Amino acid sequence: MFDVYQEEILEHYKHPHHKGTIEHPDRFAHGNNPVCGDDITMYVKLEGDKIADVRFDGRGCAISQASASMLTDRIVGMKLEDVMKLTTDDIKEMLHIPLSAVRIKCATLSLKVLQEALVQEGAK
């Protein structure tokens, strides 16, 4: 069963969704995982209290990049308050594979950076 999920992760890694930047984002933040070298910047365009568009840029392992791709798919159209409620468990559920403590940090980097971006009121 894990093979199906591993294939999905590899597909998101090879062909990430929402990869790139947004000119003049309403919010953005950058973060990295110095242990393994993952590096992500999240860019967000808002429409009222909802995510109108989101992009990520950076580099890293398959888990970090696939997680960012899957997360961006999930949050477009979501209310900010709902995005802020997402947790490590939501990321683990999205990936559907067992993750070691080190891999959890890879998988959740994009969520951490996204939530940091969203709390930066009026960041341009």
Q: What is the CATH number of the domain that holds 40?
A: 3.90.1010.10
pLDDT digit string, tens, across residues 38-61: 999 999 999 999 999 999 999 999
**Whole-number Å distance between alpha carbons of 56 and 35:** 20
Domain count, the chain: 1
Q: What is the mean pLDDT of the chain?
A: 92
- Report yes or no on 123 lying in a domain: no
Residue 42: φ, ψ to 5°: -110, 135
124 lies in some domain: no
Q: What per-residue confidence (pLDDT) applies to 97? A: 85
Retrieve residue 25's tokens.
Answer: 């984002």
- Looking at per-residue pLDDT, the higher value among 95 and 4 belongs to 95
Please report whether residue 30 resides in a domain.
yes
Question: Which ranges constitute the DSSP H helices of 20-100?
Answer: 62-75, 80-84, 88-95
Domain span holding position 14: 2-118
**Lowest-pLDDT range, 4-13, 36-45, 78-87?**
4-13
Residue carrying the six token digits 């961006």:
72
Above 70 in pLDDT, residue 4? no
Side chain identity at residue 112, one-letter code? K
Q: What is the mean pLDDT of residues 68-88?
A: 97
pLDDT at 89 over 90: yes
Measured CA to CA, the distance from residue 64 to residue 33 in angstroms comes to 10
Amino acid at 65: Q
What mean pLDDT comes out for the span 2-27?
88
The token pair at 3 is: 């093979």
Chain-centre distance of CA 36, in angstroms?
17
| pLDDT given for residue 124 in this prediction | 45
Residue 110's nearest CA partner among 71, 53, 82, 75 is 71
